[in-house]
Amino acid sequence: MILWGRASSVNVQKVLWALDEVEQSYVHKIVGGKFGGLDDPAFAAIAPLRRVPVLQDGDVTLWESHAILRYLGQNGMTPMADTWMEFGSTTLQPPFIGLFWQRVRIAPAQQDAQALAGHLNSLMSGLTALNTSLSDGRSFVAGNSFSMADIALGSLFHRITDLYPDILRDHPHVAKWHKSIATRAGYRQWIESSYDELKVT
Ligand SMILES: N[C@@H](CCC(=O)N[C@@H](CS)C(=O)NCC(=O)O)C(=O)O
């Protein structure tokens, strides 16, 4: 397999973590961000949006990080895992991205306090829904087995808790789940990494 994408992208990090979980070997082609290369013809030909990640497996080419997770997770993808992955795409990740851009990727002088507050509010609603659901005591997002849904959601939490260290104080079930997935080798290697290269000052 060939994975295209810079390791500082949270969407690429999901795939790196997933490849580690399924013990799949791959060639890593680092493009995007400060590395450029998204407009190179070889990349543009396989990535209509010229965004990362892109995964190639023989004749199969996939983009959209959650589609890639589903592909890698094939046998372990349950309807519940799928549901929580969609929750990630539609509910949890959009406010996280908005918040991350406001706090990290936009110069302080250009930051919009009202937009930031809106993103934080939406993120908290998503966290509350996840916390309420996890209060049934299950170990992972989609049941008692680790799944790609844990990667889709869990990949956001290093940055969330780094930016807002107390954010899980009132979400104990999410905090417990995060503590457990954060011990996995793929999380440690790919998710728990510095995002200094993305900071605009
Ligand atoms: N919905 C897409 C989002 C892809 C995306 O926005 N990728 C960003 C990185 S997180 C990108 O390619 N940005 C341009 C760059 O890295 O130069 C996914 O989940 O894969």
| Token couple for 193 | 């990494």
Tell me the C-alpha distance between 1 and 27, whole Å. Answer: 6
Q: Give the confidence band of 76 by pLDDT, cuts at 50, 70, 90.
A: confident
Q: What is the CATH number of domain 2-74?
A: 3.40.30.10
For 151-171, write each residue's pLDDT tens digit.
999 999 999 999 999 999 999
For 185-196, write each residue's pLDDT tens digit.
999 999 999 999
The residue type of 29 is K
Half-sphere exposure of 178 (CA within 13 A, CB side): 24
* For ligand 1, mutation pick of 6, 51, 89 (most atoms within 8 Å of CB): 51
Residue nearest ligand 1's atom 18 by CA? 64
Class of domain 77-192: mainly alpha
The domain locations on the chain are 2-74, 77-192
Q: Which residues contact 45 (CB under 8 A, 6 or more apart)?
A: none
* CB contact at 8 A, 140 and 130: no
With a cut of 90, say whether residue 75 has pLDDT above it.
Answer: no
CA distances (Å), origin 186, targets 14, 25, 99, 181: 9, 13, 24, 9
